[in-house]
Structure 1
Amino acid sequence: MKPLVAIVGRPNVGKSTLFNRLIGRRIALVEDQPGVTRDRHYADAAWGGRAFTFIDTGGFVPGEKDSLLKQVREQAQLAVEECDVIIFVTDGREGVTGADEAVAKYLRKSGKPVIVAVNKLDTTSGQMQSLTADFYKMGLGEVHAMSAEHGLGVPGLFDEVVEKLPPKEEGEDAEAPPDDGIIRVAIIGRPNVGKSTLVNAILKEKRVVASEIPGTTRDPIDSPLTYKDRKLLLTDTAGIRRKKTIAHQIEKYSVIAALKVMERSDVAVLLMDATEPAVDQDAKLAGLAEERGRALVIVVNKWDLIDADQRRQEAFRESLRHSLKFVGYAPIIFTSALTGSKVEKVMDAAVELAEQFRFRAPTPQLNRLLEYMVDNHPAPIVRSKPLRLYYITQVTSAPPTFALTCNHPEGVPDMYKRYITNQLRKTFDLRVPIRLVFRERPGQAKRAARKRPSHQGKH
Structure 2
Amino acid sequence: MNQIISIIGKTNVGKSTLFNCLTKTKYSITNNIPFFTRDRKYGFLQINNNKFTLIDTAAISNNFFYYKEKNITYYINKQTKIAIQESHIILFLITSYTQLDSFYKKFIKFLQQKNKTIIFIINKIDYIINFSFKKFFNFYKPIFISALHKINIKQLLNNIKVHLSKNKNHIHNNNYEYTKICLIGKTNVGKSTLINSLLKETRLIINHRPGTTRENITIKLLYKNHLFILTDTKGITQNIKQHKFLFNFIQHHDIIFFIIDATMGFFEQDIFLLKKIFFLGKHLFLIINKCDAINNKQKLFLKQTLHLKLYQYIKFLTIHFISALYFYNLKTLFNSIDFFLYLKSKSWSIHFLTKLINLAIKKKPLFKKKHILKFLLAKQININPIIIIIFGQKQINFLPNHYKKYLFNFLVQNLNIKNIFLQLHFFNN
TM range (shorter): 0.5 to 0.7
**1:145-224 superposed matches below 5 A:** 181-224=177-220
Q: Contact 1:198–1:338 at 8 Å: present in 2 too?
A: yes
Q: Which residue does the alignment assign to 1:422?
A: 409
User: How far apart, in 2, do the equivalents of 1:250 and 1:312 lie?
Assistant: 26
Say whether 1:356 aligns with 2:343.
Answer: yes
Q: Which amino acid aligns with 1:216?
A: T
Q: Which residue does the alignment assign to 2:422?
A: 434
Cα separation, partners in 2 of 1:416 and 1:428, compared to 1, 3 Å: same
Q: Which amino acid aligns with 2:356?
A: L
Q: Which residue does the alignment assign to 1:288?
A: 276
**1:25-174 superposed matches below 5 A:** none
User: How far apart, in 2, do the equivalents of 1:399 and 1:282 lie?
Assistant: 22
Q: Which residue does the alignment assign to 1:394?
A: 380
Structure 2 residue ranges without an equivalent (≥5):
1-174
| Alignment deviations for residues 340-379 of structure 1 (CA, whole Å, 9 cap, x no partner) | 2122322332232243245311333222221221122223
Q: Which residue does the alignment assign to 2:266?
A: 278
Q: CA deviation at 1:251?
A: 6.3
Say whether 1:372 aligns with 2:368.
Answer: no
Q: CA deviation at 1:289?
A: 2.6
User: How far apart, in 1, do the equivalents of 2:336 and 2:200 lie?
Assistant: 18
Q: CA deviation at 1:312?
A: 5.5
User: How far apart, in 1, do the equivalents of 2:205 and 2:402 lie?
Assistant: 46
SS of residue in 2 equivalent to 1:297: strand
Structure 1 residue ranges without an equivalent (≥5):
1-178, 241-248, 442-459
Runs of 4+ in 1 over 6 A off after TM superposition: none
Q: Which amino acid aligns with 1:298?
A: L
Say whether 1:342 aligns with 2:325.
Answer: no
Q: CA deviation at 1:225?
A: 0.8
SS of residue in 1 equivalent to 2:427: strand
Q: Which structure would you say has the larger Rg?
A: 2
User: How far apart, in 2, do the equivalents of 1:355 and 1:254 lie?
Assistant: 33
Q: Contact 1:317–1:332 at 8 Å: present in 2 too?
A: no
Q: Contact 2:265–2:302 at 8 Å: present in 1 too?
A: no
SS of residue in 1 equivalent to 2:312: helix
Q: Which residue does the alignment assign to 1:106?
A: none
Q: Which of 224, 230, 233 pairs up with 1:234?
A: 230
Q: CA deviation at 1:233?
A: 0.7
Q: Identity percentage over the alignment?
A: 25
Q: Contact 2:358–2:374 at 8 Å: present in 1 too?
A: no
| Alignment deviations for residues 288-345 of structure 1 (CA, whole Å, 9 cap, x no partner) | 3321111111111111111x24x65455434423322233232211111122212232
User: How far apart, in 2, do the equivalents of 1:324 and 1:254 lie?
Assistant: 23
Q: CA deviation at 1:252?
A: 9.4
Q: CA deviation at 1:387?
A: 4.4
Query: What RMSD in Å do the two structures reach over aligned CA positions?
Result: 2.8
User: How far apart, in 2, do the equivalents of 1:201 and 1:194 lie?
Assistant: 10
The number of aligned residues is: 252
User: How far apart, in 2, do the equivalents of 1:190 and 1:379 lie?
Assistant: 47
User: How far apart, in 2, do the equivalents of 1:276 and 1:378 lie?
Assistant: 48
SS of residue in 2 equivalent to 1:325: coil
Tell me: higher relative CO, structure 1 or 2? Use CA pairs within 8 A at least 6 residues apart: 1
User: How far apart, in 2, do the equivalents of 1:290 and 1:366 lie?
Assistant: 24
User: How far apart, in 1, do the equivalents of 2:188 and 2:298 lie?
Assistant: 24
Scaled by the length of structure 1, the TM-score of the pair is: 0.50
Q: Contact 1:297–1:350 at 8 Å: present in 2 too?
A: no
Q: Which residue does the alignment assign to 2:83?
A: none
Q: Which of 274, 292, 306 pairs up with 1:304?
A: 292
| Alignment deviations for residues 32-59 of structure 1 (CA, whole Å, 9 cap, x no partner) | xxxxxxxxxxxxxxxxxxxxxxxxxxxx
User: How far apart, in 2, do the equivalents of 1:212 and 1:314 lie?
Assistant: 27
Q: Contact 2:380–2:389 at 8 Å: present in 1 too?
A: yes
Cα separation, partners in 2 of 1:386 and 1:251, compared to 1, 3 Å: same
